[in-house]
Amino acid sequence: MSLTLAELAGVLPDGRVISDPGLLASYARDEAERAPFALPAAVVRPRATAEVAAVVAHCAAHHVPVVARGAGTGLSGGANAVEGCVVVSFEAMNEIVRIDPDERLAVVQPGVVNEDLRQACAKRDLWYPPDPASAPWSTIGGNVATNAGGVCCVKYGVTRDYVLGVEAVVGTGEVVRLGRRTAKGVAGYDLTGLMVGSEGTLGLVTEVTLRLRGARPREHTVVGYFDGLPDAGRAVAAVVASGVVPSALELVDRFCLRAVDDWKRMGLTDAGDVLLLARCDAPGAAGVEEAETVLAAFEESGATWSARSSDEAEADALFAARRLVYPALERLGSVLTEDVCVPRTLVPEMLGRVERIAAEHDIRIASLAHAGDGNLHPMVLVPRGDERAGARGDEALERVVAEAIALGGTVTGEHGVGLLKMRGLAAEFSPEVIAMHRAVKSALDPVGIFNPGKVFV
């Protein structure tokens, strides 16, 4: 392997290859607790597509695994290093190449941080909607790899809905351009869509062309507190049944609220055990009417307190608090998180099953959800170093996945499969569908170097 590393350094400009073990460790894993990882053989920090192609060609020739890495904010182990691999970190490929207000598109390198792009677009009265909770840190490349969603995806869709095209390095180092930059286009297979959500198993994306929207509409916020998850779940089902499609509908349970309160002293737990946050952004009077419909759904479902917020700063603070849940929980212990998605009308049933699983395994599961599209994030908090509690947590989350599949759901709504959801994916997909996926991977990755051992058992 040392000869291979020397050759790798020889095909790249000076300073691109890292082999110091002290530095390699910081690139070995993402934020997924209890997901296995290894120390990479080397880390490469390219600055151009040609350099990525040179790395892939070298690794293909020597049968060296390649693992792509963005900001390392993933929660499924998808960016974790495998034995003997080269990690390709896109941190230095972070240029917003172009924002085109006329065509409403942006061209970016994969290392661009989501929030940086959103702010740059806002200065031009444009909006890039996908907004994962990690938006202040996660990169567009990572978002593309996992088909990330976020708070507003209930109405505006996920990353795949905004990717018009990509440049990627595939196979044994070939550079290809997939997709288009036109408003419409139906030529050929949707190979761009195939790359989105592929978690680095089909190639390395080196540039992304993204669809943009006009400036974000004014939103009306509705807040509701409930005594428990069943009542909150019924409120979600009532909103769905009303026909209103909110621009956000988020659920935060008392355990999450208390974790944020203990950290930030925001008084979030004063009015109830479960918080629902909704936003409606239809133009003009229609937005107010939608908000009133959501408010009525909350009240009729047993809200202990609910209101349509007239204080925009207060409403923004509540949504900011929702984004703080995961780091707040991390302050208290190891967080094992799930990312299942069920039909929206079955959110109350799934929340009830999560509560029963927690009781049966004698463990606390905090519930956070993009409730408007049925995407639940049950999170187990265990003391650091407590292996027995961690094992119970793993068993509990395996049950959560099984129950979601039993309700016609899926193992992941936005975090990706990575290492942690592989058994669940094997249960969700038929053998025939798994075989189709493997055939696609073999076609685009004939040597089998791209993120091996991930996604499929």
Looking at residues 299-303, what average pLDDT do you find? 96
Out of 174, 198, 214, a domain closes at 214
Report whether 86 contacts 66 (CB < 8 A): yes
Percent of the chain with pLDDT over 70: 99
pLDDT confidence of residue 270:
78
Same domain, 179 and 225: no
The residues that bridge with 18 in the sheet, in sequence order, are: 43
Checking if the pLDDT of 1 tops 80, the result is no
Q: Is 390 a domain residue?
A: no
List CB contacts of 358: < 8 A, sequence separation 6 or more.
364, 365, 396
Could you write out the DSSP letters of every residue in 122-173?
Answer: HTTTEE---B-TTTTT-BHHHHHHHT--BTTHHHH--GGGGEEEEEEEETTT
d(CA 120, CA 108): 12
Looking at residues 233-242, what average pLDDT do you find? 94
CA angle 368, 374, 375 (to 5 degrees): 50
pLDDT per residue over 17-41, tens digit each? 998 988 999 999 999 988 999 999 9
pLDDT bracket for residue 202 (50, 70, 90): very high
Same domain, 155 and 226: no
Looking at residues 168-191, what average pLDDT do you find? 95
Same domain, 146 and 224: no
pLDDT bracket for residue 198 (50, 70, 90): very high
CATH number at residue 264: 3.30.70.2190
> Residue 325 has what DSSP assignment?
H
3-state secondary structure of 188: coil
Q: Which domain holds residue 117?
A: 96-214
Q: SS3 for 269-313, per residue?
A: CCCCCEEEEEEECCCCHHHHHHHHHHHHHHHHCCCCEEEECCCHH
Out of 330, 363, 387, a domain closes at 330
Looking at residues 31-52, what average pLDDT do you find? 96
Same domain, 144 and 165: yes
> Residue 346 has what DSSP assignment?
G
d(CA 152, CA 372): 9
Same domain, 100 and 210: yes
pLDDT confidence of residue 48:
98
Dihedral sign computed on CA atoms, order 327, 329, 334, 335: negative
pLDDT bracket for residue 315 (50, 70, 90): confident
pLDDT bracket for residue 5 (50, 70, 90): confident
Checking if the pLDDT of 66 tops 70, the result is yes
Q: Is 368 a domain residue?
A: no
Q: Is 139 a domain residue?
A: yes
d(CA 452, CA 38): 13
The whole-chain average pLDDT of the chain stands at: 94
Q: Is 15 a domain residue?
A: no
Same domain, 203 and 107: yes
d(CA 343, CA 337): 20
CATH number at residue 117: 3.30.465.10
d(CA 246, CA 143): 23
Same domain, 113 and 208: yes
Q: Is 25 a domain residue?
A: no
Same domain, 274 and 167: no
d(CA 272, CA 83): 48
pLDDT bracket for residue 310 (50, 70, 90): confident
Q: Give the number of other CB atoms < 10 A from CB of residue 386.
A: 13
Crossing angle of helices 254-264 and 312-323, in 10° steps, is 100
Same domain, 316 and 292: yes
pLDDT per residue over 243-298, tens digit each? 999 999 999 999 999 999 999 988 888 778 999 999 999 999 999 999 999 999 99
Checking if the pLDDT of 457 tops 80, the result is no
pLDDT confidence of residue 267:
86
pLDDT per residue over 383-410, tens digit each? 998 999 999 999 999 999 999 999 999 9
Same domain, 260 and 297: yes
- Cα first-last separation, the chain: 27
pLDDT confidence of residue 124:
97
Task: Identify which has the larger pLDDT, 266 or 179.
Answer: 179
Checking if the pLDDT of 3 tops 70, the result is no
Q: Is 210 a domain residue?
A: yes
Counting the structural domains of the chain, the total is 2
Looking at residues 344-349, what average pLDDT do you find? 91
Looking at residues 205-229, what average pLDDT do you find? 95
Checking if the pLDDT of 54 tops 90, the result is yes
Same domain, 228 and 292: yes
pLDDT confidence of residue 41:
95
Q: Is 121 a domain residue?
A: yes
pLDDT bracket for residue 178 (50, 70, 90): very high
Looking at residues 85-90, what average pLDDT do you find? 98
pLDDT confidence of residue 209:
98
Q: Residue 71: which H helix or E strand, with range?
A: none
Out of 159, 186, 214, a domain closes at 214
pLDDT confidence of residue 117:
98
Q: Is 58 a domain residue?
A: no
Looking at residues 61-89, what average pLDDT do you find? 97
Same domain, 165 and 222: no
pLDDT confidence of residue 6:
83
Looking at residues 76-81, what average pLDDT do you find? 97
pLDDT confidence of residue 409:
97
